[in-house]
Structure 1
């Protein structure tokens, strides 16, 4: 079963709630094909064309974050209910990651419990930062403890904040370069703070092949003893305790670097729909089967890794 773990879905009425929370970038998310009605029908046809069986929907980076607790909770409940409705209408095509109203810790944990227990969501999606704060900051520890207690899947996506750097934002690089830099910073923070060891039951998925991480693992192994001596294990070891989606815009050298760095068993199919649509969407799947990739590695990435991660192996074998 081909499961696309990096797929966006949102509607204008949800984006309107985010505007009320202070979001200023929702205009670029509208009319892209990420919504319901005709847009959803077009998405399903494209999935069929590319051979994608299911998508795991997430609202990241348009997560319901904001200092206004009441508005953040209302937005989180709205989008989670909306996602549950889509999954109920198309149970063979969609699953969903829950959204949480951060930085409000108690409310976030309550909504995560509701989404996972009552709405049947398969994990939680967080941005790599929360209003500019790192996920490894102690204030978010109760959320990670809850996810670890539950053995939850945690999907991480860049916030689109240019890594809080004007050198990125002021030069039109927020998504071309800023997003993978956000990925890189986030995953390195998880590594140097030992999160996969501290919270061993959380199944962490990082976006975009882990950003620049495949090119940095040996550098990190060489330099962490003096720069981040609190790191509990070599970065290359901790990196292989997490998962990474294959969103690389069809760039084969990046995919091969990720396979060599993490192992094919740690990669999951991702498309970044609707940012990768039409022919680019098809390419996001097809490039994983390039002749330069071993067939068994392609099969693991496309077919079995996500099934195992989400506990669907037995269900898939029964329907085969």
Structure 2
């Protein structure tokens, strides 16, 4: 199969037991949620994953460790965990280059260390881009504190994959009512995308290929409302949210919900959507549904465009075809 026709899943996970144990040794208490799901690196797990991908018509996955990101107050711990994760991913990709690419993780919030690890991951390990979460130890990704990171990504025209942090969007109402992932995660997507827009990040750093998870959460439903409200809530914004949203990209993880996919396609444009599955949280029939729902909801031409859009994330991708810095 030619590269330009590959169906590439940009939202997939794989965690090694060594990495999860290291996070636990530094104080993470939620790594059990990543175990026992078939998302490890054992031969049996990989064979099962490849069989499911083949059945679903997925040729290639771009891996990320989110939400188990190596974010710790101690720089030494954050850097050790990030390097372990990136070296592990580099090995997995080297062993299965036809099946996997990977997003590098960074030792945030430590900017100098993160910039150094980004250079190592992209230049030496040849990773497909960088993966971060919607917030870092409680600080929004839209905070100008992170602009040095965006500046370097902009210079590289690199891809930045953004995944919910799993921190309840900072809301006790979510945390105390068993809604961390069913409601909290898409709220984190929504808040992060809007904060980036309000801080002018898509316009300030137009070459960064920002990819949000889960269709951007509730963003498709909120853009016209946001356009009206910025006039008095954020009058300094230099670009209307409806327009700024089209400077970014959104994966199609929607659990087969056709109305959500149609809303995103209508709000952003089909050319802003890329295939995502959230493997291993969608496997088997649900993994197949992640592809079929796109084929059944969009026109054949639009569906194929979305399903093959992630090719630009590959090191050998055709940079002229997707993720263009100029938008209409």
**TM-score normalised according to structure 1 size:** 0.95
TM-fit CA distance, 1:21? 2.6
User: Within the alignment, does 1:148 sit opposite 2:168 as a pair?
Assistant: no
TM-fit CA distance, 1:294? 1.4
Query: 2:200 aligns to what?
Result: 194
1:212-259 per-residue CA deviation (whole Å, 9 max, x = no partner) reads 001111111111111111211110000001000000001000000000
- Structure 1, unaligned runs of 5 or more: none
User: Within the alignment, does 1:265 sit opposite 2:271 as a pair?
Assistant: yes
Q: Distance in 1 between matches of 2:233 and 2:146?
A: 24
1:109-153 per-residue CA deviation (whole Å, 9 max, x = no partner) reads 100000000000010000000011011222212111111111110
Give secondary structure in 1 for the equivalent of 2:161.
strand
Higher deviation after alignment, 163-172 or 132-141? 132-141
Residues 73 and 314 from structure 1, CA distance in 2 versus in 1: closer, same or farther, beyond 3 angstroms? Answer: closer
Q: Distance in 2 between matches of 1:240 and 1:16?
A: 39
Q: Map 1:158-173; keep pairs closer than 5 Å.
A: 158-173=164-179
- Residue 183 of structure 1, aligned match among 167, 181, 189: 189
User: Within the alignment, does 1:22 sit opposite 2:39 as a pair?
Assistant: no
1:5-54 per-residue CA deviation (whole Å, 9 max, x = no partner) reads 00011012101111123221101111111111111111111111111110
Give secondary structure in 1 for the equivalent of 2:294.
helix
Q: Distance in 2 between matches of 1:282 and 1:78?
A: 32
Q: Structure 1 segments of 4 or more deviating over 6 A?
A: none
User: Within the alignment, does 1:205 sit opposite 2:211 as a pair?
Assistant: yes
Q: Distance in 1 between matches of 2:137 and 2:319?
A: 40
- Contact 1:193–1:230, Cα closer than 8 Å, also in 2: no
Q: Map 1:68-147; keep pairs closer than 5 Å.
A: 68-147=74-153
- Contact 2:72–2:109, Cα closer than 8 Å, also in 1: yes
Q: Distance in 2 between matches of 1:307 and 1:29?
A: 27
Query: 1:236 aligns to what?
Result: 242
- Contact 2:128–2:313, Cα closer than 8 Å, also in 1: no
- Structure 2, unaligned runs of 5 or more: 1-5, 322-328
- Contact 1:21–1:65, Cα closer than 8 Å, also in 2: no
Query: 1:307 aligns to what?
Result: 311
Query: 1:7 aligns to what?
Result: 12
1:187-223 per-residue CA deviation (whole Å, 9 max, x = no partner) reads 0001111101111110000000000001111111111
- Residue 260 of structure 2, aligned match among 250, 254, 257: 254
Q: Distance in 2 between matches of 1:139 and 1:201?
A: 19
Give secondary structure in 2 for the equivalent of 1:240.
helix
Give secondary structure in 2 for the equivalent of 1:205.
strand
Higher deviation after alignment, 241-250 or 20-29? 20-29
Give secondary structure in 1 for the equivalent of 2:86.
helix
Query: 1:288 aligns to what?
Result: 294
Q: Distance in 2 between matches of 1:139 and 1:17?
A: 27
RMSD: 1.4
Q: Distance in 1 between matches of 2:145 and 2:24?
A: 25
Residues 145 and 160 from structure 1, CA distance in 2 versus in 1: closer, same or farther, beyond 3 angstroms? Answer: same
Higher deviation after alignment, 32-41 or 182-191? 32-41
- Contact 1:128–1:156, Cα closer than 8 Å, also in 2: yes
TM-fit CA distance, 1:307? 2.3
TM-fit CA distance, 1:295? 1.4
Q: Distance in 2 between matches of 1:41 and 1:229?
A: 53
